[in-house]
């Protein structure tokens, strides 16, 4: 390569800036290792270097700090790719290389993935909504990993007795927000469509829903207002059909996919959302604001939870013991078009 000249340097900076979508000043700061550049901008410049065929300067060749396993149940529910993206990005920013392990019915199991990860010599593992959240599953697998000195972090599903940090959404707060919103709109016949109750988040949502519903409306028979099914569109449709046909004017769902099924159930029954039936989801998955109608949902703080999970894992890896008390993150009710006032025949004055 010919000796570098000032014009060629300027051309290179301009090309890189254009490719990365940043200013030439930002490119210069990245190439010279100066502070004041976001992780996203830095990565964009490094990607531009690779795409345009430039060799990265030696000081920018980040050496991996180690491998981290990231185990998620599946990718069909949009919230799991959202968690995976946040956690992978944050691990990458800290120099770690994430190994994503996704499950599917009849495919590789969590235990098989763990053995594979151990064969690769991972420095730690993040479990998102894994078997740790299943109250019927043995926790011995996690005890064995800890016995081998492998740092773990559990996301959404506190496992009593497992020596690992745990990060979860506050399901009690989620139900409180959803129910009080519907109650303020005049709804009194409110049902809950939830996934299998053997899972910790489902149990917590059901218990919180039943307690608050009794407090607000006096309804003491929780079984009449809760239907447990699958965390899928089809599961939500089946549960909502049962709830709507038994007189419920509003349905709170355990996931956004279930909520889409509830909307389908209402329409199949010849009803309108939200004029006849109101529907609340859970997660605030990507693109959920663009459904018809846009879905009212309880947003999981995915970014904050991912940051906490990675911070706890890195602390464990580097020899600093993270807190074992479960970290509960407060969700946020996002009101859109799938909830409205109770039908006139069912509405009564709200008294919160």
pLDDT tens, position by position, 272-310: 999 999 999 999 998 899 999 999 999 999 999 999 999
pLDDT band per the 50, 70, 90 thresholds, residue 256? very high
For 131-172, give the secondary structure using H, E and C.
Answer: HHHECCCCCHHHHHHHHCCCCEEEECCCCCCCCCCEEEECHH
What pLDDT score was predicted for residue 290? 92
Strand partners, 134: 199
Q: At what angle do helices 171-184 and 200-217 cross, to 10 degrees?
A: 30
> Is pLDDT at 5 greater than 50 in this prediction?
no
Question: What is the percentage of the chain residues whose pLDDT exceeds 70?
Answer: 92
Domains of the chain: 9-60 (1.10.260.40), 66-169+302-329 (3.40.50.2300), 171-301 (3.40.50.2300)
pTM: 0.80
Compute CA 334 distance to the chain's CA centroid, rounded to the nearest angstrom: 15
What pLDDT score was predicted for residue 94? 87
pLDDT band per the 50, 70, 90 thresholds, residue 10? low
Q: Which residue has the higher pLDDT, 203 or 35?
A: 203
Ranges of H-type helices in 194-329: 200-217, 233-245, 256-268, 302-317
pLDDT band per the 50, 70, 90 thresholds, residue 61? low
Q: At what angle do helices 39-51 and 24-31 cross, to 10 degrees?
A: 90
CA dihedral 122, 128, 133, 137 (to 10 degrees): -40
| Upstream peptide bond of 211 is cis (omega within 30 degrees of 0) | no
Instruction: Return the minimum-mean-pLDDT range out of 11-15, 27-31, 230-234, 327-331.
Output: 11-15
Residues in the chain: 352
pLDDT band per the 50, 70, 90 thresholds, residue 311? very high
> Is pLDDT at 143 greater than 70 in this prediction?
yes
Residue 337: CB atoms within 10 Å: 15
pLDDT band per the 50, 70, 90 thresholds, residue 263? very high
pLDDT band per the 50, 70, 90 thresholds, residue 350? very low
Mean pLDDT rounded to a whole number for the chain: 90
């Amino acid at each position: 390569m010919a000796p570098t000249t000032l014009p060629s340097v300027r051309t290179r900076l301009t090309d890189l800036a254009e490719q990365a979508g940043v200013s030439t000043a930002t490119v210069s700061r990245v190439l010279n290792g100066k502070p004041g550049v976001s992780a996203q901008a830095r990565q964009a410049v490094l990607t531009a270097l690779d795409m345009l065929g430039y060799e990265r300067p030696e000081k920018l060749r980040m050496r991996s700090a180690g491998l981290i396993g990231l185990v998620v149940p599946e990718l069909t529910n949009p919230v799991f790719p959202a968690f995976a993206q946040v956690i992978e990005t944050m691990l990458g920013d800290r120099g770690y290389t994430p190994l994503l392990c996704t499950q599917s019915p009849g495919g590789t199991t969590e235990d098989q993935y763990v053995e594979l990860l151990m064969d690769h010599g991972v420095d730690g593992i993040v479990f998102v909504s894994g078997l740790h959240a299943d109250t019927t599953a043995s926790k011995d697998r996690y005890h064995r990993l800890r016995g081998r000195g492998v740092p773990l972090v559990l996301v959404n599903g506190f496992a009593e007795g497992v020596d690992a940090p745990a990060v979860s959404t506050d399901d009690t707060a989620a139900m409180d927000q959803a129910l009080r919103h519907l109650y303020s709109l005049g709804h009194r016949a409110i049902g809950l469509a939830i996934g299998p109750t053997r899972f910790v988040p489902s149990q917590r949502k059901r218990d919180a829903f039943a307690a608050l519903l009794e407090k607000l409306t006096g309804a003491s028979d929780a079984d009449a207002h809760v239907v447990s099914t699958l965390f899928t569109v089809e599961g939500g449709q089946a549960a909502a059909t049962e709830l709507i046909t038994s007189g419920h004017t509003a349905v709170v769902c355990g996931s956004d996919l279930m909520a889409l099924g509830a909307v389908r159930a209402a329409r199949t029954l010849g009803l309108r959302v939200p004029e006849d039936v109101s529907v609340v989801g859970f997660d605030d998955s990507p693109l959920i604001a663009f459904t018809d109608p846009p879905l009212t949902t309880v947003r999981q703080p995915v970014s904050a939870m991912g940051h906490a999970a990675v911070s706890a894992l890195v602390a464990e890896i580097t020899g600093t013991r993270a807190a074992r008390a479960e970290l509960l993150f407060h969700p946020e009710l996002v009101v859109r078009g799938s909830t409205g006032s109770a039908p006139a025949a069912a509405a009564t004055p709200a008294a919160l």
